[in-house]
Amino acid sequence: MSVRTTVSAWDGTARTTLNLSTPCPCYLIRAAGARLFFLPRYSPDLNPIEQVFAKLKTLLRKTDPRTIEATWRGIGDLLDRFTPQECANYLANAGYASA
């Protein structure tokens, strides 16, 4: 196990990260007075950019670009199809309350 402490330039708070190559020795961490916060596993369903990329890739495949230039132009044209309301819906679907 290796421990690394970093200080955030944003708010000045210290964060300690653990690199655990063995099962978590949680009792040692708690005995030192620290608390553990376990993050959920990554889920693309909860990440709005993944939903946008999925739609963008589907639309891009339909245009069937044959060159790199055509691919970039196609992406630029396809991004105009995403309305502000649709983007807000992606955020709401991912659980962001402010959307």
**Residue 56 near residue 75, CB atoms below 8 Å:** yes
Mean pLDDT of 7-30: 62
Amino acid at 45: D
Task: Read off the pLDDT band of 77 (50, 70, 90).
Answer: very high
Q: In which band, very low, low, confident or very high, does the pLDDT at 74 lie, cut at 50, 70 and 90?
A: very high
Buried b (16+ CB within 10 A) or exposed e, 8-29: eeeeeeeeeeeeeeeeeeeeeb
Q: What pLDDT is recorded for position 23? A: 63
